[in-house]
Structure 1
Amino acid sequence: MKIFYEDNHIIVVEKKPNQPTQEDASNDYDLLSEVRDYIKVTYNKPGNVFVGLVHRLDRPVGGVMVFAKTSKAASRLSDQVRTHKLDKIYTAVIQGALEPQTLRDYMLKNRKTNMSRVVSKNTPEAKYAELVILNSFYNAEHNLSTVNVSLITGRSHQIRVQFSSRNHPLWGDARYNPQAKAGQQIALWATTLTFDHPTTKERMTFESHTPDRYPFTL
Protein backbone atom coordinates (compact mmCIF):
# COMPACT_ATOMS: atom_id res chain seq x y z
CA MET A 1 0.00 0.00 0.00
CA LYS A 2 1.46 3.34 -1.06
CA ILE A 3 1.27 5.89 1.77
CA PHE A 4 1.60 9.59 0.98
CA TYR A 5 1.20 10.91 4.53
CA GLU A 6 0.32 9.73 8.01
CA ASP A 7 0.00 11.20 11.48
CA ASN A 8 -2.11 10.50 14.56
CA HIS A 9 -5.27 11.83 12.90
CA ILE A 10 -5.24 10.91 9.19
CA ILE A 11 -3.62 8.62 6.65
CA VAL A 12 -3.43 9.43 2.93
CA VAL A 13 -2.91 6.47 0.60
CA GLU A 14 -3.20 5.41 -3.02
CA LYS A 15 -6.05 3.11 -3.96
CA LYS A 16 -5.20 0.45 -6.51
CA PRO A 17 -7.50 -0.02 -9.53
CA ASN A 18 -10.10 -2.79 -9.14
CA GLN A 19 -9.80 -2.81 -5.36
CA PRO A 20 -13.07 -2.07 -3.52
CA THR A 21 -12.96 1.01 -1.30
CA GLN A 22 -14.88 -0.91 1.35
CA GLU A 23 -16.19 -4.44 1.77
CA ASP A 24 -18.69 -5.53 -0.86
CA ALA A 25 -20.36 -8.70 -2.10
CA SER A 26 -17.19 -9.83 -3.88
CA ASN A 27 -15.38 -10.30 -0.55
CA ASP A 28 -12.21 -9.05 -2.25
CA TYR A 29 -9.65 -7.41 0.04
CA ASP A 30 -10.83 -3.82 0.27
CA LEU A 31 -8.78 -0.68 0.94
CA LEU A 32 -10.55 0.19 4.20
CA SER A 33 -9.62 -3.23 5.61
CA GLU A 34 -6.08 -2.88 4.29
CA VAL A 35 -5.62 0.46 6.04
CA ARG A 36 -7.11 -0.96 9.25
CA ASP A 37 -4.82 -4.02 9.13
CA TYR A 38 -1.80 -1.84 8.44
CA ILE A 39 -2.50 0.31 11.53
CA LYS A 40 -3.23 -2.71 13.70
CA VAL A 41 0.02 -4.49 12.77
CA THR A 42 2.31 -1.46 12.52
CA TYR A 43 1.34 -0.03 15.90
CA ASN A 44 0.49 -3.35 17.58
CA LYS A 45 -3.02 -2.18 18.46
CA PRO A 46 -5.25 -4.70 20.26
CA GLY A 47 -8.93 -5.16 19.48
CA ASN A 48 -10.82 -3.23 16.84
CA VAL A 49 -9.01 -0.38 15.10
CA PHE A 50 -10.98 2.73 14.12
CA VAL A 51 -10.62 3.90 10.54
CA GLY A 52 -13.11 6.46 9.23
CA LEU A 53 -14.23 6.29 5.60
CA VAL A 54 -14.60 9.89 4.43
CA HIS A 55 -15.08 9.49 0.66
CA ARG A 56 -15.07 6.73 -1.96
CA LEU A 57 -13.69 5.81 -5.35
CA ASP A 58 -15.44 3.47 -7.78
CA ARG A 59 -13.93 0.01 -7.78
CA PRO A 60 -12.13 0.28 -11.16
CA VAL A 61 -10.72 3.74 -10.34
CA GLY A 62 -7.37 4.27 -8.64
CA GLY A 63 -5.81 7.29 -7.01
CA VAL A 64 -5.40 9.29 -3.82
CA MET A 65 -7.69 8.90 -0.80
CA VAL A 66 -7.71 10.08 2.82
CA PHE A 67 -8.91 8.06 5.80
CA ALA A 68 -9.48 9.28 9.35
CA LYS A 69 -7.75 7.61 12.29
CA THR A 70 -10.01 9.17 14.94
CA SER A 71 -13.74 9.84 15.15
CA LYS A 72 -13.08 13.58 15.56
CA ALA A 73 -11.01 13.64 12.36
CA ALA A 74 -13.69 11.64 10.54
CA SER A 75 -16.38 14.11 11.57
CA ARG A 76 -14.37 17.16 10.54
CA LEU A 77 -13.32 15.69 7.19
CA SER A 78 -16.91 14.62 6.50
CA ASP A 79 -18.00 18.20 7.17
CA GLN A 80 -15.52 19.36 4.53
CA VAL A 81 -17.02 16.90 2.05
CA ARG A 82 -20.51 18.28 2.76
CA THR A 83 -19.39 21.91 2.47
CA HIS A 84 -17.26 21.28 -0.64
CA LYS A 85 -14.01 22.20 1.10
CA LEU A 86 -12.47 18.84 0.28
CA ASP A 87 -11.38 19.32 -3.33
CA LYS A 88 -10.94 16.38 -5.70
CA ILE A 89 -9.39 16.56 -9.15
CA TYR A 90 -9.46 13.62 -11.54
CA THR A 91 -7.71 12.87 -14.80
CA ALA A 92 -9.84 11.10 -17.40
CA VAL A 93 -9.47 10.12 -21.03
CA ILE A 94 -12.69 10.55 -22.99
CA GLN A 95 -13.73 9.80 -26.54
CA GLY A 96 -13.85 12.79 -28.88
CA ALA A 97 -13.17 16.45 -28.15
CA LEU A 98 -14.84 18.51 -25.44
CA GLU A 99 -13.86 22.05 -24.43
CA PRO A 100 -13.36 23.14 -20.79
CA GLN A 101 -16.75 23.92 -19.28
CA THR A 102 -19.04 23.22 -16.33
CA LEU A 103 -21.37 20.24 -16.59
CA ARG A 104 -24.60 20.46 -14.60
CA ASP A 105 -27.15 17.65 -14.51
CA TYR A 106 -29.58 15.75 -12.35
CA MET A 107 -28.82 12.08 -11.82
CA LEU A 108 -30.74 9.06 -10.64
CA LYS A 109 -29.20 5.79 -9.41
CA ASN A 110 -30.81 2.41 -10.07
CA ARG A 111 -29.90 0.45 -6.95
CA LYS A 112 -30.76 -2.89 -8.56
CA THR A 113 -28.30 -2.45 -11.45
CA ASN A 114 -25.91 -0.10 -9.56
CA MET A 115 -25.95 2.23 -12.57
CA SER A 116 -26.83 5.91 -12.75
CA ARG A 117 -28.23 8.10 -15.53
CA VAL A 118 -28.97 11.73 -16.28
CA VAL A 119 -32.66 12.61 -15.81
CA SER A 120 -34.95 15.61 -15.66
CA LYS A 121 -34.63 17.78 -12.55
CA ASN A 122 -38.27 17.00 -11.77
CA THR A 123 -37.60 13.26 -11.51
CA PRO A 124 -38.33 12.00 -7.97
CA GLU A 125 -35.13 11.27 -6.01
CA ALA A 126 -32.96 12.92 -8.70
CA LYS A 127 -29.80 14.52 -7.29
CA TYR A 128 -27.94 17.55 -8.61
CA ALA A 129 -24.53 16.79 -10.13
CA GLU A 130 -21.85 19.31 -11.07
CA LEU A 131 -18.28 19.08 -12.28
CA VAL A 132 -15.84 21.44 -14.00
CA ILE A 133 -13.61 20.48 -16.92
CA LEU A 134 -10.48 22.44 -16.05
CA ASN A 135 -8.60 21.71 -19.26
CA SER A 136 -8.74 19.39 -22.25
CA PHE A 137 -6.00 18.07 -24.54
CA TYR A 138 -7.27 16.50 -27.76
CA ASN A 139 -5.35 13.82 -29.68
CA ALA A 140 -6.80 13.77 -33.20
CA GLU A 141 -4.97 10.61 -34.19
CA HIS A 142 -6.69 8.59 -31.48
CA ASN A 143 -9.82 10.79 -31.25
CA LEU A 144 -9.34 10.95 -27.49
CA SER A 145 -9.10 13.85 -25.05
CA THR A 146 -7.27 13.89 -21.74
CA VAL A 147 -9.24 16.06 -19.33
CA ASN A 148 -8.71 17.27 -15.78
CA VAL A 149 -11.95 17.38 -13.84
CA SER A 150 -12.81 19.16 -10.61
CA LEU A 151 -15.62 17.26 -8.94
CA ILE A 152 -18.03 19.64 -7.21
CA THR A 153 -20.62 17.08 -6.09
CA GLY A 154 -19.99 13.42 -5.38
CA ARG A 155 -22.72 11.37 -7.03
CA SER A 156 -22.44 7.68 -7.81
CA HIS A 157 -20.45 7.18 -11.07
CA GLN A 158 -20.83 10.93 -11.64
CA ILE A 159 -17.89 11.63 -13.95
CA ARG A 160 -18.56 8.51 -15.98
CA VAL A 161 -22.27 9.27 -16.41
CA GLN A 162 -22.00 12.98 -17.16
CA PHE A 163 -19.46 12.43 -19.94
CA SER A 164 -21.27 9.40 -21.33
CA SER A 165 -24.56 11.33 -21.46
CA ARG A 166 -22.88 13.81 -23.83
CA ASN A 167 -21.53 11.03 -26.09
CA HIS A 168 -18.02 11.41 -24.71
CA PRO A 169 -17.71 8.25 -22.59
CA LEU A 170 -14.53 7.39 -20.75
CA TRP A 171 -12.09 5.10 -22.51
CA GLY A 172 -12.39 1.55 -21.22
CA ASP A 173 -15.53 2.16 -19.13
CA ALA A 174 -17.26 -1.22 -19.23
CA ARG A 175 -20.49 0.17 -17.72
CA TYR A 176 -21.09 3.34 -19.69
CA ASN A 177 -19.05 3.04 -22.87
CA PRO A 178 -20.51 0.55 -25.39
CA GLN A 179 -17.24 0.68 -27.35
CA ALA A 180 -15.13 -0.48 -24.40
CA LYS A 181 -13.41 -3.79 -25.04
CA ALA A 182 -12.86 -6.72 -22.72
CA GLY A 183 -9.72 -6.35 -20.64
CA GLN A 184 -9.51 -2.57 -20.89
CA GLN A 185 -8.95 -0.61 -17.67
CA ILE A 186 -11.06 2.51 -17.28
CA ALA A 187 -9.07 5.72 -17.92
CA LEU A 188 -10.05 7.57 -14.74
CA TRP A 189 -7.67 8.44 -11.90
CA ALA A 190 -8.03 10.49 -8.71
CA THR A 191 -4.93 12.64 -9.14
CA THR A 192 -5.24 15.45 -6.57
CA LEU A 193 -6.83 15.72 -3.13
CA THR A 194 -6.87 18.96 -1.12
CA PHE A 195 -8.36 19.49 2.35
CA ASP A 196 -7.83 21.23 5.68
CA HIS A 197 -6.08 19.07 8.26
CA PRO A 198 -8.76 18.18 10.84
CA THR A 199 -6.74 19.48 13.82
CA THR A 200 -4.04 21.87 12.58
CA LYS A 201 -6.33 23.40 9.90
CA GLU A 202 -3.36 23.45 7.51
CA ARG A 203 -4.43 23.30 3.86
CA MET A 204 -2.88 20.12 2.46
CA THR A 205 -2.61 18.83 -1.12
CA PHE A 206 -1.61 15.34 -2.23
CA GLU A 207 -1.03 14.10 -5.76
CA SER A 208 -1.13 10.63 -7.30
CA HIS A 209 0.34 10.27 -10.78
CA THR A 210 -1.64 8.51 -13.50
CA PRO A 211 -0.35 5.06 -14.50
CA ASP A 212 2.28 4.77 -17.19
CA ARG A 213 -0.03 3.05 -19.66
CA TYR A 214 -2.26 3.79 -22.61
CA PRO A 215 -4.28 5.97 -22.94
CA PHE A 216 -2.89 8.09 -20.08
CA THR A 217 0.42 8.24 -21.96
CA LEU A 218 -1.08 10.03 -24.98
Structure 2
Amino acid sequence: QGDETGDEPLGESVKRYIKIKYKKPGAVFLGVVHRLDRPVSGVVVFARTSKALSRMNALFQKRETKKIYLALAEGHPKKEETLKHWLTKDEAKNKATAYTRPHPDGKESELTYKTLAVRGGVSLLQVEPLTGRPHQIRVQLASIGCPVAGDVKYGSKASHPEGGIFLHAYRLSFAHPVSQAPMALQAPPPDIEFWNIFTPLL
Protein backbone atom coordinates (compact mmCIF):
# COMPACT_ATOMS: atom_id res chain seq x y z
CA GLN A 1 0.00 0.00 0.00
CA GLY A 2 1.07 3.62 -0.43
CA ASP A 3 3.08 5.45 2.22
CA GLU A 4 4.78 8.75 2.90
CA THR A 5 7.56 8.03 0.38
CA GLY A 6 5.17 8.45 -2.53
CA ASP A 7 6.54 5.28 -4.18
CA GLU A 8 4.08 3.23 -6.21
CA PRO A 9 2.66 0.33 -4.16
CA LEU A 10 3.90 -3.09 -5.30
CA GLY A 11 0.32 -4.19 -5.95
CA GLU A 12 -0.15 -1.45 -8.54
CA SER A 13 2.99 -2.56 -10.37
CA VAL A 14 1.72 -6.15 -10.40
CA LYS A 15 -1.70 -5.07 -11.71
CA ARG A 16 -0.03 -3.23 -14.57
CA TYR A 17 2.10 -6.31 -15.35
CA ILE A 18 -0.98 -8.58 -15.43
CA LYS A 19 -2.91 -6.15 -17.61
CA ILE A 20 -0.12 -6.11 -20.19
CA LYS A 21 0.87 -9.79 -20.04
CA TYR A 22 -2.68 -11.17 -20.27
CA LYS A 23 -4.08 -8.29 -22.37
CA LYS A 24 -6.79 -7.64 -19.78
CA PRO A 25 -9.34 -4.96 -20.68
CA GLY A 26 -10.67 -2.76 -17.90
CA ALA A 27 -9.79 -3.04 -14.22
CA VAL A 28 -7.61 -5.90 -12.99
CA PHE A 29 -8.52 -7.71 -9.76
CA LEU A 30 -5.57 -8.33 -7.46
CA GLY A 31 -5.88 -9.48 -3.86
CA VAL A 32 -3.12 -8.86 -1.33
CA VAL A 33 -2.68 -12.12 0.58
CA HIS A 34 0.06 -10.97 2.96
CA ARG A 35 2.52 -8.12 3.33
CA LEU A 36 6.18 -7.66 4.14
CA ASP A 37 7.57 -4.78 6.16
CA ARG A 38 8.71 -2.10 3.73
CA PRO A 39 12.49 -2.68 4.20
CA VAL A 40 12.17 -6.50 3.95
CA SER A 41 12.84 -8.31 0.66
CA GLY A 42 11.56 -11.62 -0.66
CA VAL A 43 8.48 -13.65 -1.60
CA VAL A 44 5.10 -11.89 -1.75
CA VAL A 45 1.89 -13.64 -2.83
CA PHE A 46 -1.06 -12.01 -4.62
CA ALA A 47 -4.37 -13.59 -5.64
CA ARG A 48 -5.79 -13.02 -9.12
CA THR A 49 -9.37 -14.03 -8.22
CA SER A 50 -11.60 -13.34 -5.22
CA LYS A 51 -12.04 -17.09 -4.64
CA ALA A 52 -8.28 -17.62 -4.50
CA LEU A 53 -7.96 -14.63 -2.16
CA SER A 54 -10.51 -15.96 0.34
CA ARG A 55 -8.93 -19.42 0.30
CA MET A 56 -5.42 -18.05 0.69
CA ASN A 57 -6.57 -15.82 3.54
CA ALA A 58 -7.99 -18.91 5.25
CA LEU A 59 -4.65 -20.73 4.88
CA PHE A 60 -2.81 -17.87 6.55
CA GLN A 61 -5.40 -17.49 9.32
CA LYS A 62 -5.26 -21.23 10.09
CA ARG A 63 -1.44 -21.12 9.93
CA GLU A 64 -1.41 -23.73 7.18
CA THR A 65 1.51 -22.06 5.47
CA LYS A 66 5.21 -22.45 6.22
CA LYS A 67 7.34 -19.31 6.03
CA ILE A 68 11.12 -19.35 6.09
CA TYR A 69 13.14 -16.15 6.36
CA LEU A 70 16.86 -15.51 6.15
CA ALA A 71 18.35 -12.89 8.44
CA LEU A 72 21.83 -11.44 8.78
CA ALA A 73 21.92 -10.70 12.49
CA GLU A 74 24.54 -8.78 14.42
CA GLY A 75 26.27 -10.85 17.09
CA HIS A 76 26.45 -14.57 17.77
CA PRO A 77 23.13 -16.10 18.85
CA LYS A 78 22.75 -19.72 19.91
CA LYS A 79 23.05 -22.48 17.32
CA GLU A 80 19.32 -23.14 17.51
CA GLU A 81 16.56 -21.69 19.67
CA THR A 82 12.83 -21.05 20.04
CA LEU A 83 11.89 -17.51 21.10
CA LYS A 84 8.59 -16.69 22.77
CA HIS A 85 7.52 -13.13 23.59
CA TRP A 86 4.44 -11.00 23.99
CA LEU A 87 4.50 -8.11 21.52
CA THR A 88 2.86 -4.71 21.75
CA LYS A 89 2.79 -2.19 18.90
CA ASP A 90 3.04 1.59 19.15
CA GLU A 91 1.16 2.60 16.01
CA ALA A 92 2.25 6.25 16.26
CA LYS A 93 5.93 5.26 16.21
CA ASN A 94 5.36 2.15 14.07
CA LYS A 95 7.46 0.16 16.50
CA ALA A 96 6.93 -3.08 18.42
CA THR A 97 8.13 -3.97 21.92
CA ALA A 98 8.82 -7.54 23.11
CA TYR A 99 8.10 -8.76 26.64
CA THR A 100 9.32 -12.08 28.04
CA ARG A 101 6.18 -12.47 30.19
CA PRO A 102 2.48 -12.09 29.35
CA HIS A 103 1.51 -8.45 28.86
CA PRO A 104 -2.10 -7.19 29.05
CA ASP A 105 -1.82 -5.57 25.62
CA GLY A 106 0.62 -8.06 24.15
CA LYS A 107 0.08 -10.74 21.52
CA GLU A 108 1.85 -14.05 22.02
CA SER A 109 4.59 -14.43 19.41
CA GLU A 110 6.87 -17.36 18.70
CA LEU A 111 9.63 -18.21 16.24
CA THR A 112 12.43 -20.69 15.83
CA TYR A 113 15.83 -20.01 14.32
CA LYS A 114 18.97 -21.88 13.32
CA THR A 115 22.41 -20.37 12.86
CA LEU A 116 23.65 -21.43 9.42
CA ALA A 117 26.96 -19.54 9.30
CA VAL A 118 29.00 -16.89 11.09
CA ARG A 119 31.31 -14.36 9.46
CA GLY A 120 33.02 -11.93 11.81
CA GLY A 121 30.37 -10.26 13.91
CA VAL A 122 27.43 -11.28 11.71
CA SER A 123 25.40 -14.51 11.74
CA LEU A 124 23.26 -15.96 8.96
CA LEU A 125 20.03 -17.25 10.49
CA GLN A 126 17.22 -19.35 9.10
CA VAL A 127 14.08 -18.12 10.85
CA GLU A 128 10.61 -19.66 10.93
CA PRO A 129 7.92 -17.45 12.49
CA LEU A 130 5.21 -19.60 14.08
CA THR A 131 2.95 -16.57 14.47
CA GLY A 132 2.55 -13.60 12.14
CA ARG A 133 2.91 -10.39 14.15
CA PRO A 134 4.06 -7.04 12.71
CA HIS A 135 7.85 -6.61 13.00
CA GLN A 136 7.96 -9.95 14.84
CA ILE A 137 11.31 -11.29 13.63
CA ARG A 138 12.94 -7.87 13.89
CA VAL A 139 11.93 -7.19 17.49
CA GLN A 140 12.40 -10.77 18.73
CA LEU A 141 15.96 -11.01 17.40
CA ALA A 142 16.71 -7.56 18.81
CA SER A 143 15.43 -8.72 22.20
CA ILE A 144 18.22 -11.32 22.43
CA GLY A 145 20.85 -8.75 21.48
CA CYS A 146 21.11 -9.78 17.83
CA PRO A 147 19.28 -7.15 15.75
CA VAL A 148 18.92 -7.59 12.01
CA ALA A 149 21.84 -5.85 10.29
CA GLY A 150 20.85 -2.42 9.00
CA ASP A 151 17.70 -2.28 11.16
CA VAL A 152 18.49 0.84 13.20
CA LYS A 153 14.87 1.01 14.41
CA TYR A 154 15.55 -2.13 16.46
CA GLY A 155 19.10 -1.50 17.55
CA SER A 156 21.38 -2.22 14.60
CA LYS A 157 24.64 -0.29 14.86
CA ALA A 158 24.18 1.45 11.50
CA SER A 159 22.01 1.59 8.43
CA HIS A 160 23.50 -0.02 5.35
CA PRO A 161 24.59 2.09 2.36
CA GLU A 162 22.77 -0.27 -0.01
CA GLY A 163 19.51 0.40 1.83
CA GLY A 164 16.90 -1.84 3.40
CA ILE A 165 17.54 -4.29 6.20
CA PHE A 166 19.03 -7.75 5.92
CA LEU A 167 15.85 -9.74 6.45
CA HIS A 168 14.56 -11.74 3.50
CA ALA A 169 11.37 -13.79 3.01
CA TYR A 170 13.14 -16.78 1.47
CA ARG A 171 10.52 -19.51 1.07
CA LEU A 172 6.76 -19.85 1.37
CA SER A 173 5.07 -23.28 1.21
CA PHE A 174 1.35 -24.05 1.07
CA ALA A 175 -1.28 -26.16 -0.70
CA HIS A 176 -2.63 -24.55 -3.88
CA PRO A 177 -6.01 -23.01 -2.96
CA VAL A 178 -7.85 -24.79 -5.82
CA SER A 179 -5.90 -27.92 -6.85
CA GLN A 180 -4.44 -28.60 -3.38
CA ALA A 181 -1.11 -29.40 -5.03
CA PRO A 182 1.85 -28.61 -2.77
CA MET A 183 3.57 -25.36 -3.71
CA ALA A 184 6.89 -23.91 -2.59
CA LEU A 185 7.84 -20.40 -3.70
CA GLN A 186 11.45 -19.35 -3.19
CA ALA A 187 13.29 -16.11 -3.89
CA PRO A 188 17.08 -15.73 -3.68
CA PRO A 189 18.40 -12.92 -1.47
CA PRO A 190 19.12 -9.60 -3.21
CA ASP A 191 22.25 -9.56 -5.36
CA ILE A 192 24.16 -7.08 -3.23
CA GLU A 193 27.58 -7.33 -1.66
CA PHE A 194 26.67 -8.02 1.97
CA TRP A 195 24.22 -10.81 1.08
CA ASN A 196 26.65 -12.25 -1.47
CA ILE A 197 29.11 -13.07 1.31
CA PHE A 198 26.58 -15.54 2.71
CA THR A 199 24.42 -16.79 -0.18
CA PRO A 200 27.01 -19.36 -1.39
CA LEU A 201 26.53 -21.05 2.00
CA LEU A 202 22.82 -21.75 1.47
Q: State whether TM-score is above 0.5.
A: yes
Q: Which residue of 1 aligns with 2:16?
A: 37
Change (3 A) 1:120 1:90: closer
Q: Report if the CA contact (8 A) 2:33-2:47 is conserved.
A: yes
- 3-state SS of 1:149 partner: strand
1:163, 1:169 within 8 Å by CA — same for their partners in 2?
Answer: yes
Letter in 1 for 2:149: W
Q: What is the identity percentage for the equivalent residue pairs of Structure 1 and Structure 2? A: 38
TM-score relative to the length of structure 1: 0.83
Which among 74, 78, 84 is matched to residue 63 of structure 2?
84
Q: Which one is further off, 187-196 or 177-186?
A: 177-186
Two-structure CA RMSD over aligned residues (Å) = 1.7
SS in 1 for 2:67: strand
Instruction: Report the Cα offset of residue 119 of structure 1.
Output: 2.7
Counterpart for residue 28 of structure 1: 7
Distance of aligned partners of 1:64 and 1:117 in 2 relative to their CA distance in 1, 3 Å threshold: same
Shift of 1:85: 1.1
| Match runs of 1:1-218 below 5 Å | 22-98=1-77, 99-119=79-99, 121-139=101-119, 142-181=120-159, 183=161, 184-216=163-195, 217-218=197-198
Paired AA for residue 173 in structure 1: D
In terms of mean alpha carbon deviation, does 70-79 or 35-44 score higher? 35-44
Instruction: Give yes or no for contact 2:149–2:156 (8 Å, CA) kept in 1.
Output: no
Report the counterpart of residue 4 of structure 1 in structure 2: none
In structure 1, how many angstroms separate the alpha carbons of the residues matched to 2:26 and 2:178?
A: 25
Equivalent residue of 1:153, what SS? Answer: coil
SS at match of 1:159: helix
Instruction: Tell me the amino acid that sits aligned with residue 89 of structure 1.
Output: I
Matched length: 195
